[in-house]
Amino acid sequence: MPKVSRSGAAGPADEGPVAARRGEAGDWTVDFVEFRQEVDGAPLMASAPGGACSYPHWGYVFRGRMVFRFGDREEVFEAGDAFHLPPGHVPWIAAGTEIVQFSPTAELRAFEEAMARAASGQ
């Protein structure tokens, strides 16, 4: 059975307010993420198809607080919570939050490629 550990995952990818380690286990991508600063995903998601994240995630919050906005509601997750996020969410994440997140690799890659095209103006 494949596994991914925080210490064995690739990274850390340091993207300013976010530090992440990533690995793959079968058809799943596992991200260990630390948010060093508050992150409001609304500006980033504005260029995404539908204005929101288009793929699902599952995960666990080790520390901190996250709020995910959907068209009709908000979901709040705090330290000790396991979570499932269906497509169509926009994140807000507090500084100091640490999570592990599981995402279907094919959907994640397609979304990241679409976001990269949008960022480059294509």
**Domains contained in the chain, CATH given:** 18-120 (2.60.120.10)
Q: What angle do CA 75, 41, 27 make, to 5 degrees?
A: 80
> How much of the chain exceeds pLDDT 90, in percent?
67
3-state secondary structure of 101: strand
H/E stretch holding 58 reads: strand 57-63
Average pLDDT over residues 74-84: 98
Q: Residue 1 pLDDT more than 60?
A: no
Q: Which residue has the higher pLDDT, 1 or 75?
A: 75
User: What's the whole-model pTM score?
Assistant: 0.89
Q: What is the pLDDT of residue 84?
A: 97
